[in-house]
Structure 1
Amino acid sequence: MASFLSAFSMFGMSSLGYRTGFGALFVLSVNLVPLGALWYYMHRKTFVLGRARSWMSMGMPFGERYGNGMRAVIPVVVLLASIPYLVAQVQGIGLMVEALSEKAIPYHMGMFFVPVFISLYLIMGGMKGAAWVNTVQGIFFSIMVFILFFAVMAKNGGFAPTMQMVFDTHPELFQLGAKGGKLWSYPMVFGFAAAMCLGCICFPQPYMHAYSSRTVKGFKTMLLSFGGICLVIITMPTLVGIAATVIVPGLKGVQADKVYGIVASMALPDWLAALAVAGGFTAAMSTVNGLVFGNATNLANDLLKLMVPHVGQKGLVSAARWSVAVIMAICVVIAWNPNTPVAELSVLAFGTVAVTIFPLWGAYFWKRSTAAGAMASTIVGFGINIVMFIWGGKNMVLFPSAKLFQLNGFLAAFIAAGLVFFIVCLVTKPGKIEQKSLALFFHPALDGKLDHNLVDRSENEYVKV
């Protein structure tokens, strides 16, 4: 949970609730309710095969199924798609530090908080260090978000009176539909939710969790409970943001990302407000360390290993450490002049990475999938997202457009990627690598229910194959 919940979940969703109202909660429901089951469906084989084949990076399953071309493309696409999400975390904390300190610590100084600390403990602690940090941070921010929620609602006499005040002042925040110029039309809700749900499946964290899970029970419990727990946790800051419209009126655009900290300082004693906002900091940091670590691992184990096949373990670790520093530096540069709110930045990232779900599905569930189809689908989907952004900016990518039959840009790119995947796979023949991979990816041992016997049997049989 901590590796996914972030500045987007705390600062971004409180800002989105503040700016757009209850439609943000509809997005959460459509996104998170099916997420656990979809994650289990897509990554069940990642768990079993990853244990058997000692996979460590995202490119490995794609490389074994489609060849080195896809193994090289995936880490590049995922890294570029991750950048907006990482920028959102850096930007969110910079804005929050500025708000809490009443500009005594300016944004450009506060934004270095994330890169410096995370780079240090990722470089020094590695994956195990990141996992323990995430665990502690996840417990901490889960507690603090509930404390802030009840404090904000109590400020105006409870939840029902607070929401009544919001309705009396801003009735448009309770509207959903396409009429009257309201933001949350049904295509808008579906577009945001689809990007978030599908994108979650395709980021590095699900692969890392699958590779590192020790038991079947732990893996199943994690995935099937994830969506429900996140739905509860993220609902709290969203409602805090909605309530803040009558406590801190008048914030616009990126400045609304400060509402979580501002309302905390108004509803809680100073020391407790600082802890509540620190909970948002830890949410951002726990996600950044997981995402940066995953991308650094991909770059070292996929790209570097392909370019320098005989590189040793020490060289891979060194490359991953340098990757952490470089990725964080790039994010600081991009976040220097913020103009897109945290929530929208995050959805841009989710929607872009979601196009990789087709080659992932094909690798595990369609024997007819080919390397050409996987490669074409990924490049076309990613390329259309970039073209949409250059053509019409973030609005073209995020919001439904009449030019795209009321789809937003990333849904149009997603559909195009899917069509390309199936068409190219059907008109091209599987090569030697794809044919050979069928013995592993469609082994009879994978047909049964996922249990300890299946995993143990699969590991032994896969090693032999």
Structure 2
Amino acid sequence: MSLAVQLGVLGAYLLVALAVGVVAYRRTDRRAEDYYLAGRTLGTVVLLFTTFATLLSAFTFFGGPNVAFWAGPEWILVMGLMDGVLFALLWYVVGYKQWLVGKEHGYVTLGEMLGDRFGSTRLRGVVAGVSILWLFPYVMLQQMGAGTAVVGLTDGAVPYWAGAALITVFMVGYVALSGLRGVAWTDTLQGVFMLGVLWLAVGWIATSAGGIGALTAGMAEANPEFAALGGGLYSVQYVVGTAVVIAFGVAAFPQVNQRFFMADRVETLKRSFALWPVLVLLLFVPAFLLGSWAVGLGITVPENSNVLPVLLNEYTPAWFAAAVVAGALAAMMSSSDSMLLSGSSYLTRDLYRPFVAPDAGDERESWVARVGVAAFAVGTFVASLFAQGGGLDAIITVGDTAFGGYAQVTLPLLCALYWSGTTRTGMLTGVVASQALYLAHVFVPSVTVMGTTLLGDTYLTWDFALWCMLASLLVTVGVSALTTNAPEENAAKFGVRAD
């Protein structure tokens, strides 16, 4: 009976989300601006929640509580406070200027914007290629999270592959059906749902286990380090480095970056980034507290499982545990459908049309986008099946790697937006060089020659991703200073002034 209740709750939620998609489909036309950007008409609530739900994925719901369970509650400081504030600042610095430029010239993708400014189809293709490259592991992360969530919720009655397949089929069908308007509407529904069930979970478990004071005392008794600030994993280098890499990575995520184009007016954009840190704290605090409290409650997490479903099954009824996991799946779906939608826009507008079929019509482009989305999702699904044995480490590693890859794009983007002296050669070299350096660190084992580390995880105790970001800035600025603008470049394109 318990399994039937759990699956019934999950199925009901999916049907509600699908119904919203059908309504959105009927109100969406086939213009790229409407399909990919909802006609640039989003108001404050929808823009805020669609960005919120798009970001808060398996990395948040399972990676975050697992880190808190393993290393302590300071993860709230990293993600909930520092990262919330840092991304809000970047939303203003990058997003506001990008909104002004996009509204003026009708840009739909980041590659389209940069390619037009620098008169370079090659740059447009490079930016799109890099963006799609790092989408692969992050979409895979959602499928891994869905698989482990369903296994944990049902005590293994439903296998990992079924959970991963469920989210794959749903997100492909949803993207093909509804476009950004449907994604944004369901994101708002999912964001409210996520917040509600997590705070209810905190209240339920606190009531069942003797209150917040007893839970905190139990956590401190089980692991005294959890009651102190810092120590263990949470060095200054780790806290600052992780927050910076994630915030700068988020600013270049395709599904987030495109949302910088979507606001209906400037007041909407300003209110959204002002409210962002508050909304982030409202989600991260309960999620990471639950992971930390589980230590004091003596929760045992099976290998390759996640703490949240195990904790909920122990202290809440089956229907409520299923509702919270449905919230987690909502987070993953709202990330995945947005990623696939953005990926399809990058594929068709920045790669297919410029390089393969410049004269392709809208109908043909639409079919290419749908086939590309399906193929991409199947590829990530297959990869998630091979990664299923990695458990906690795999989810965190995949998420960190994708964030770091996108973070290499943000500083060159800032140069392009604000420094008219940035050249095409500087941009291309900065993006390509930093990506090559970062990929070498990700895929090549640590190399030490004559006692000197050439490729390592850290340099002077700081994460290699930060050094690659610094390289992206230095190369972009240095090469731009040594080269001249090509005749096709037009710095005036980005000359729109912010208020």
The answer to whether TM tops 0.5 is yes
Q: Which residue of structure 2 lines up, in the alignment, with residue 453 of structure 1?
A: none
Q: Which residue of structure 1 lines up, in the alignment, with residue 77 of structure 2?
A: 26
Helix, strand or coil at the partner of 1:432? coil
Shift of 1:34: 2.6
Shift of 1:47: 0.9
Shifted more, 149-158 versus 406-415: the winner is 149-158
Shift of 1:403: 5.7
Opposite residue 380 of structure 2, the aligned amino acid is: C
Q: Which residue of structure 2 lines up, in the alignment, with residue 297 of structure 1?
A: 345
Q: Which residue of structure 2 lines up, in the alignment, with residue 456 of structure 1?
A: none
Q: Which residue of structure 2 lines up, in the alignment, with residue 396 of structure 1?
A: none
Q: Distance in 1 between matches of 2:311 and 2:300?
A: 13
Matches for 1:228-247 after TM superposition, within 5 Å: 228-247=278-297
Change (3 A) 1:366 1:254: farther
Q: Which residue of structure 1 lines up, in the alignment, with residue 134 of structure 2?
A: 81
Q: Which residue of structure 2 lines up, in the alignment, with residue 185 of structure 1?
A: 235
Q: Distance in 1 between matches of 2:376 and 2:434?
A: 23
Q: What is the count of residue pairs matched by the alignment?
A: 433
Q: Distance in 2 between matches of 1:209 and 1:414?
A: 23
Instruction: Determine whether 1:426 maps to 2:481.
Output: yes
* Counterpart contact for 1:253–1:341, Cα < 8 Å: no
Return the match for 2:327 from 275, 279, 299. Answer: 279
Q: Which residue of structure 2 lines up, in the alignment, with residue 397 of structure 1?
A: none
Instruction: Determine whether 1:227 maps to 2:242.
Output: no
Matches for 1:84-103 after TM superposition, within 5 Å: 84-103=137-156
Helix, strand or coil at the partner of 2:462? coil
* Counterpart contact for 2:412–2:473, Cα < 8 Å: no
Instruction: Determine whether 1:41 maps to 2:93.
Output: yes
* Counterpart contact for 1:144–1:279, Cα < 8 Å: yes
Return the match for 1:110 from 160, 163, 172. Answer: 163
Q: Distance in 2 between matches of 1:69 and 1:93?
A: 37
Q: Which residue of structure 2 lines up, in the alignment, with residue 53 of structure 1?
A: 105
Q: Distance in 1 between matches of 2:70 and 2:92?
A: 33
Change (3 A) 1:213 1:153: same
Gaps of 5+ in 2: 1-51, 447-454
Return the match for 2:313 from 265, 268, 274. Answer: 265
Shift of 1:248: 4.8
* Counterpart contact for 1:59–1:302, Cα < 8 Å: yes
Shift of 1:365: 0.3
Q: Which residue of structure 1 lines up, in the alignment, with residue 416 of structure 2?
A: 363
Change (3 A) 1:392 1:176: farther
Q: Which residue of structure 2 lines up, in the alignment, with residue 412 of structure 1?
A: 467
Matches for 1:380-395 after TM superposition, within 5 Å: 380-392=433-445
* Counterpart contact for 2:206–2:215, Cα < 8 Å: yes
Q: Distance in 1 between matches of 2:304 and 2:427?
A: 37
User: What TM-score results when the alignment is normalised by the length of structure 2?
Assistant: 0.83
Q: Which residue of structure 2 lines up, in the alignment, with residue 315 of structure 1?
A: 364
* Counterpart contact for 2:457–2:464, Cα < 8 Å: no
Q: Distance in 2 between matches of 1:74 and 1:405?
A: 30
Change (3 A) 1:323 1:248: farther
- Displaced runs of 4 or more, over 4 A: 175-178, 400-403
Shift of 1:401: 6.1
Q: Which residue of structure 1 lines up, in the alignment, with residue 299 of structure 2?
A: 249
Opposite residue 438 of structure 1, the aligned amino acid is: A
Q: Distance in 1 between matches of 2:367 and 2:298?
A: 47
Q: Deviations over 1:248-279 (max 9, x none)?
A: 53437743xx2111111122111111111111
Helix, strand or coil at the partner of 2:53? coil
User: What TM-score results when the alignment is normalised by the length of structure 1?
Assistant: 0.89
* Counterpart contact for 1:355–1:382, Cα < 8 Å: yes
Shift of 1:359: 2.4
Opposite residue 408 of structure 2, the aligned amino acid is: V
Change (3 A) 1:402 1:220: closer
Change (3 A) 1:382 1:402: closer
Change (3 A) 1:27 1:401: farther
Gaps of 5+ in 1: 394-399, 450-465
Helix, strand or coil at the partner of 2:55? coil
Opposite residue 205 of structure 1, the aligned amino acid is: Q
Q: Distance in 1 between matches of 2:236 and 2:260?
A: 34
Helix, strand or coil at the partner of 1:112? helix
Instruction: Determine whether 1:158 maps to 2:207.
Output: no
Opposite residue 17 of structure 1, the aligned amino acid is: A
Opposite residue 97 of structure 1, the aligned amino acid is: V
Shift of 1:173: 2.9
Q: Distance in 1 between matches of 2:327 and 2:402?
A: 23
Q: Distance in 1 between matches of 2:475 and 2:151?
A: 46
Q: Distance in 2 between matches of 1:128 and 1:225?
A: 22
CA root-mean-square deviation: 1.9
Matches for 1:112-127 after TM superposition, within 5 Å: 112-127=165-180
Return the match for 1:351 from 384, 398, 404. Answer: 404
* Counterpart contact for 2:427–2:476, Cα < 8 Å: yes
Q: Which residue of structure 2 lines up, in the alignment, with residue 459 of structure 1?
A: none
Instruction: Determine whether 1:149 maps to 2:198.
Output: no
Q: Distance in 2 between matches of 1:259 and 1:341?
A: 15
